């Protein structure tokens, strides 16, 4: 379950998020880790910072929530662009890479002198089950 190189708190947060199988807010994580000794938001946010830097967790900006990476073996962190389809009905999140997209954006913005560092792509809608 766990991943090498993580501290205790980082591992607790990562495992909780992985077990959830979907997005959680920082405060939901906090409440779910009180039994394990968590007391303050900062414990969660610090762990999330590291997990995000390592590409093991992503932040969903349009939800203010966090989700475990769907394929950590692919080193999402190294991709400039990770995209999410988020169902507004059931809350299900589908994570994907789309190289055409990435390339198009880089090309389009590069021509304008803009250097992308991190790209947020979140598609809100209805998933196949909820349509």
Site residues, DNA (CB under 7 A):
7-10, 25-28, 37-43, 45-47, 64-65
Instruction: Please enumerate in sequence order all residues whose Cβ is within 8 A of that of 112, keeping only pairs 6 or more positions apart, or say none.
Output: none
Could you say which of a second copy, Zn ion, DNA, none residue 89 binds, taking C-beta under 5 to 8 angstroms by partner kind? Answer: Zn ion
Q: In this complex, which beta carbon is closest to DNA, that of residue 2 or of residue 64?
A: 64
Supply φ then ψ for residue 113, to 5 degrees: 85, 10
Select from 24-32, 46-54, 65-73, 80-88 the region that touches a second copy (CB under 8 A): 80-88
CB of 45 to DNA, least distance (A): 4
> SS3 for 85?
strand
Count of residues touching a second copy (by CB under 8 A)? 33
Find, among 89, 47, 88, 87, the residue nearest to 68 by Cα: 47
The torsion angle over the Cα atoms of residues 96, 100, 103 and 105, rounded to 10 degrees, is -80
- The contact pattern for Zn ion, residues 75-114, with x = CB under 5 A and - = no contact, is -x----------x-xx-x----------------------
DSSP state of 58: E
Q: In this complex, which beta carbon is closest to DNA, that of residue 3 or of residue 101?
A: 3
């Amino acid at each position: 379950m766990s991943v090498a190189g993580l501290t205790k708190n980082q591992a607790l947060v990562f495992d909780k998020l992985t077990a959830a199988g979907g997005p959680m807010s920082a405060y939901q994580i906090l409440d779910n880790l009180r039994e394990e000794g968590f007391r303050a938001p900062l414990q969660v946010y610090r762990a999330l910072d590291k997990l995000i830097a390592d590409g093991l967790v992503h932040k969903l900006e349009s939800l203010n929530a966090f989700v475990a990476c769907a394929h950590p073996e692919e080193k999402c962190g190294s991709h400039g662009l990770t995209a999410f389809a988020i169902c507004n009905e059931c809350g299900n999140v589908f994570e994907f890479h789309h190289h055409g997209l990435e390339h198009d954006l880089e090309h389009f913005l590069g021509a304008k002198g803009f250097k992308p560092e991190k790209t947020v792509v979140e598609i809100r809608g209805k998933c196949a089950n909820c349509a």
